[in-house]
């Protein structure tokens, strides 16, 4: 880990690494360094874009980042950049057209969780079982509750589509970053939504087997973030428009740094070569 006060860190950005603590612990992955961000809250920091982007997969220089860190050839070729990752109900593995069947078997054919979360309000989402609770933290959820488990990504996407007819499946990132949203009784919402969707869920069970959709009786996970002060008005920093981003670090939520000068989505700028100094 670098000395975050005396030694600038330089390299390609990656999605921030998180650990569920109270509050969440964040590390900024920048090149080979792992910077303890929680220790920097309340301090002025500076991020300077070095005008270089290297694809997360192949490493080649690219003038433009696609899908949060890939060059265009990798964006059009890699399975993790396919449209079915965003819309899993459109999985086409069974049609024999998966971009990389071996990758699909490793990532899509493993247990997935359907969950409810309170990020900018109530939402439904899905994630691989191994991504709990990382997925919730990345979305800035303050509460989360797993409600169903299935065996693959396609089934989770079909269920999410059913429940999303009654509740949002997206996070309003501006609302999320302002904080202050009230708590929700997620167990009551789970019961309400599963009752509303019972007929359609039973149809999926008839199609895929009774054991294909398993109800979970889990506890609500409460998540706190290291934020000293939430912004009342959201303004954004963008490395494509400004090479230098600086200000006092007021907090971290989701994949955003909250500065007194605005917010920046670190995940959006994955693969950008940046220098961090404090």
Mean pLDDT of 171-176: 96
pLDDT band for position 122 (50/70/90)?
very high
pLDDT band for position 98 (50/70/90)?
very high
Taking only the tens place, the pLDDT of each residue in 14-46 is: 999 999 999 999 999 999 999 999 999 999 999
Question: Among 50, 49, 48, 46, which Cα is nearest to 247's?
Answer: 46
Taking only the tens place, the pLDDT of each residue in 235-273 is: 999 999 999 999 999 999 999 999 999 999 999 999 999
Cβ-contact 55, 74 below 8 angstroms: yes
Taking only the tens place, the pLDDT of each residue in 4-17 is: 444 589 999 999 99
**In the chain, % of residues over pLDDT 90:** 96
Secondary structure of 146-187 in the HEC alphabet? EEEEECCHHHHHHHHHHHCCCCECCCCHHHHHHCCCCCCCHH
Looking at residue 7, its pLDDT comes to 56
Looking at residue 5, its pLDDT comes to 43
Cβ-contact 232, 178 below 8 angstroms: yes
Looking at residue 19, its pLDDT comes to 98
- State in Å, rounded, how far the first CA of the chain is from the last one: 15
pLDDT band for position 131 (50/70/90)?
very high
pLDDT tops 90 at residue 274: yes
pTM: 0.94
Looking at residue 82, its pLDDT comes to 97
Looking at residue 112, its pLDDT comes to 98
Looking at residue 2, its pLDDT comes to 43
Looking at residue 205, its pLDDT comes to 97
Looking at residue 8, its pLDDT comes to 86
Average pLDDT, the chain: 95
Mean pLDDT of 184-196: 98
Phi, psi of 118 (to 5 degrees): -115, 95
| Integer-rounded Cα radius of gyration of the chain | 20
pLDDT band for position 3 (50/70/90)?
very low
Cβ-contact 223, 24 below 8 angstroms: yes
Mean pLDDT of 189-211: 97
Looking at residue 6, its pLDDT comes to 47
């Amino acid at each position: 880990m670098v000395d975050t006060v005396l030694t600038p860190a330089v390299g390609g950005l990656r999605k921030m690494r998180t650990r569920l603590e109270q509050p969440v612990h964040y590390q900024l992955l920048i090149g080979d360094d792992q910077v303890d961000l929680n220790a920097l809250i309340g301090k002025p920091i500076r991020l300077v874009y070095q005008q270089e982007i290297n694809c997360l997969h192949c490493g080649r220089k690219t003038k433009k980042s696609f899908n949060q860190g890939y060059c265009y050839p990798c964006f059009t070729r890699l399975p993790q950049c396919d449209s079915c990752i965003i819309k899993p109900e459109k999985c086409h593995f069974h049609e024999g057209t998966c971009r990389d069947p071996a990758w699909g078997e490793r990532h899509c054919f493993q247990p997935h969780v359907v969950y409810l979360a309170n990020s900018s309000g109530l939402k439904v989402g899905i994630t691989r079982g191994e991504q709990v609770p990382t997925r919730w933290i990345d979305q800035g959820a303050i509460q989360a509750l797993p409600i169903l488990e299935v065996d693959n990504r396609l089934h989770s996407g079909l269920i999410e589509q059913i429940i999303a007819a009654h509740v949002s499946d997206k996070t309003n990132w501006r609302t999320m970053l302002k904080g202050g949203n009230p708590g929700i009784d997620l167990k009551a919402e789970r019961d309400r939504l599963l009752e509303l969707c019972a007929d359609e869920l039973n149809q999926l069970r008839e199609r895929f087997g009774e054991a294909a959709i398993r109800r979970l009786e889990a506890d609500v996970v409460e998540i706190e973030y290291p934020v000293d002060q939430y912004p009342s008005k959201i303004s954004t920093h963008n490395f494509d428009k400004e090479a230098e981003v600086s200000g006092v670090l007021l907090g971290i939520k989701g994949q955003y740094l909250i500065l007194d000068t605005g917010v920046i989505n670190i995940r959006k700028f994955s693969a950008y070569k940046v220098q961090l100094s404090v």
